[in-house]
Structure 1
């Protein structure tokens, strides 16, 4: 039996798990727009990012999930529960902690060299924060997310490696 192609996909995982890369790839293959949750939280500005109020963020987010097709990616999980309900497919990128640490360093180098596009100004301060966020995800957020997503078992796909998605699709 062939799976129905999802029209609404939520990708969640830690910094360095490959969320944006996967969202971009799926968006191109499926011809569905993708949204980074960081860009829902922040208004990107050349003079510095401006955080949206919770009300503005939620309005913008709800507008996205009410559209016919979308791919949403991000680490956020507490204020995005509506998208889990609306999604046809939830992909949890459960990539190994050490692999994510390596990717954080690789990303930082590529960003500093101007090879990888970024929505923020890469700095050593942010680089160090990414390791803290990665550890926090592993120890605090990940158990919360697994518990939260347990009610969506029928549409949840947990990947230990991004290449596992090919088997699913």
Structure 2
């Protein structure tokens, strides 16, 4: 039996879980646009990033959600993102091992500092330290919050702990 490919996919996970990488791969494979929630929160400028107002953020996200197909990825699971989870046909929860995420945070920072990996932000030492804090916060607060708020969508949540979980789903 052939599985229908979802047109609207929301990927959530901690810092270093592989959200952006997976979104890029699926975007290429499915020919869908992908959006990073951090770029919904922030209006990116060369000189300085400007935080969108709550109204601007909601309007921008609603425009994405109203389109025919999309992949949205991010760590966010606050109320302003709930419409995305509601409208997603598939929610991929990346539950990558904590130590793997920690390794990826270090690797990403080094590659960004060496200019070998692009980032949406200036890779400062403070952001590097914050990523460890955000990783721990997601593990202790974000993950339980996600399941408390959005567990009602369990019929469309795919929990992914490794690459083969995704390959099995899409093949």
TM-score normalised by length of structure 2: 0.97
* Gapped regions of structure 2 (runs ≥ 5): none
Query: Residues of 1 paired with 2:101 and 2:147: CA distance?
Result: 18
Query: Residues of 2 paired with 1:3 and 1:88: CA distance?
Result: 13
Query: Residues of 1 paired with 2:87 and 2:126: CA distance?
Result: 36
Q: CA deviation at 1:154?
A: 1.2
Are the equivalent residues in 2 in contact too, given 1:18–1:93 (CA < 8 A)?
yes
Q: CA deviation at 1:146?
A: 1.8
Query: Residues of 1 paired with 2:113 and 2:74: CA distance?
Result: 22
Match of 2:14 in 1: 14
Match of 1:133 in 2: 134
Match of 1:32 in 2: 32
Q: CA deviation at 1:46?
A: 1.1
The number of equivalent residue pairs is 169
Q: Cα deviations across residues 134-169 of structure 1 (Å, max 9, x unaligned)? A: 011111111111222311111110001133200111
Query: Residues of 2 paired with 1:41 and 1:83: CA distance?
Result: 14
Match of 1:90 in 2: 91
* Gapped regions of structure 1 (runs ≥ 5): none
Match of 1:121 in 2: 122
Are the equivalent residues in 2 in contact too, given 1:149–1:156 (CA < 8 A)?
no
Q: Does 1:108 align with 2:109?
A: yes
Query: Residues of 2 paired with 1:10 and 1:25: CA distance?
Result: 14
Query: Residues of 1 paired with 2:30 and 2:63: CA distance?
Result: 20
Q: Cα deviations across residues 17-48 of structure 1 (Å, max 9, x unaligned)? A: 00000000000000000000000000111111
The CA RMSD measured in Å over matched residues stands at: 0.8
Match of 1:158 in 2: 159
Query: Residues of 2 paired with 1:160 and 1:147: CA distance?
Result: 20
Are the equivalent residues in 2 in contact too, given 1:93–1:162 (CA < 8 A)?
no
Query: Residues of 1 paired with 2:62 and 2:144: CA distance?
Result: 26
Q: CA deviation at 1:2?
A: 1.5
